[in-house]
A and B are shown apart, each in its own frame.
Chain A
């Protein structure tokens, strides 16, 4: 059975998280929060435009890293969850299927309407995102450089999970075996965002 994105998006978009008596949401192996997208966007925009120009790449790398670690640990939590077992697992026959299904979940949860358009197992993945909240920072005109740090980090993390070896809860191994470059962005005036993930070696 091939991975059916529509089935996954329909099912996974309906998942609701609720907080416990401590006001916390333990789910998918992590603690989860709900926040307006413009909160996350605001800080990324303010910090990258406040630092000295020579430090901007470092700030961008740290924002990407936040998503990379998030994607690695939460991604593992997702693919080992009961929800995944019931909805996605019956469609999975290979690590490549895991990746296609993971991007359907990524879409369902509102991170980015995205899909894999090219995949060379263990080597390279190209992802396109047709709608994503990180592009909302521009109301008119276009940025000179892309700013979808969250998609960059999570895309690399998903390749880590698929091909980077056994999951390591400490992140000492397995994490950062892949890196991602954003080559197109809606925020830059492109029709979609495009993300190229390759080995970090």
Chain B
């Protein structure tokens, strides 16, 4: 049986708070901020009572960031949503995207007509040495524990291998950082809104060679929210909804030595394939891509693994200007994780906010023209879980 094309689901509202080091805002303040921004974005208005269920994406509220174990009530409590159902999603850096995916499935299944998804993460309150970059627990395997692994180390190991095999250079990674910082200066929601140069990026302190400071996204506080409606009811809320065309999720080994190789993310390839198939499109049909640039090397590999160019040609594709804001396939017009920040649970939802503005022609200075189809890409762990969601101006 041929699988159905697209999901009968539409985005009818999207909003977020400005990401950053938000010392003045609690986790709950951020959720409320994103929720209000989302409600405000609904063109024809929405009665809050009509929202039937919620999904909360938050990755590490527990020991990592010293919060209590979190449930869906983490969303229901601050916005006075109870006793309505709220599920809490955690799937590493795909947390936000997977909350959206599961919320969309509930609508597609005909269970609900209108649901809310909020992604939020409070990361800046604790000192850097307690932050994600220095976490020991996230290295999953006992063997790694005292043997020097970290998130930059894991991603850096792919940079070294890609450089060795394909001649990719640190300069290429720097170009991605420069591009994303530049885009970020035009996005009012970013953590960082300053330009950098290739020289600055190359001369910055090394975190895990070959990755330096500007190859790494910051730890950031933030929250983002979207409203999903049944496709045939979308026009009750807006004349310009985003239609949910496809979604693909894939996995790969967590333990670093069990990777097939260090030059690709097989899970990105698999997730993209699944999402393209559901949407009935190919990589050439994607007009805008919000990609998971947790490190610059991740974005470069993702050009290849999403099929935007051939394996090993990511650096060339970059040099040719394709992912630039005025290129053939703008990647990370928002500034990406690099400039916008990466509040883990919020990231996948915030990427959809960016597509919401572009596909509706509301992205102002950074507006990508004539975009019809756009995708988000989230990658959790060292490509251990990858999620691609695809949206379009027209339904399938």
A binds B: no
